[in-house]
């Protein structure tokens, strides 16, 4: 991971090796820049999204914080932006928020639920398992008392 982070500037500037033309043809594929000036600009736009996405993915997989799931929101945003660069849509960075909203609707409540659980356990010293065990014990004793009273 350190090597990937270290060479990330070189990875970013790979777009400069792309041709300064509308069409890029190789023996494997042909790429045409539809909405942008040239292929190099499309490469620059792609790298503007891909490198931060790479860093966010590394951060997500190496984070030990309780809130690391929230990093999925910018990961989703950059992913949708990369898709729009690849699809070569004319409205770059305009509509991706509408695709990220459902992701946010799932992740934010999940992270908040994790926060509540952690705060209850470690900050307020509330152990829900102990409380459940105590409630089960009270119910058991109450049932025993009712059985004795019914005899």
| Residue 19, token pair as written in the block | 């041709």
| Closest by CA position to 89, among listed 23, 16, 33 | 33
pLDDT tens digit sequence for 5-16: 999 999 999 999
Give mean pLDDT, residues 141-149: 86
pLDDT tens digit sequence for 64-122: 888 888 999 999 999 988 988 888 766 666 777 888 889 899 999 988 888 887 777 66
Q: Is the pLDDT assigned to residue 46 strictly greater than 80?
A: yes
Task: Say if pTM beats, i.e. exceeds, 0.75.
Answer: no
Can you give the pLDDT at residue 48?
Answer: 94
């Amino acid at each position: 991971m350190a090597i990937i982070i270290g060479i990330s500037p070189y990875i970013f500037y790979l777009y400069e090796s792309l041709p300064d033309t509308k069409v890029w043809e190789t023996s494997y594929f042909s790429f045409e820049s539809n909405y942008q000036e040239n292929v190099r600009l499309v490469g620059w736009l792609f790298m503007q999204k891909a490198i931060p996405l790479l860093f966010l993915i590394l951060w997500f997989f190496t984070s030990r914080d309780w809130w690391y799931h929230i990093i999925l929101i910018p990961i989703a945003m950059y992913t949708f932006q990369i898709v729009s660069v690849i699809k070569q849509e004319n409205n770059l960075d305009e509509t991706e928020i509408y695709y990220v909203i459902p992701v946010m609707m799932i992740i934010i409540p999940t992270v908040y639920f994790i926060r509540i659980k952690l705060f209850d356990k470690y900050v307020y010293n509330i152990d829900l398992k102990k409380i459940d065990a105590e409630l089960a014990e009270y119910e058991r004793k109450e049932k025993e008392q009712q059985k004795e009273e019914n005899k």
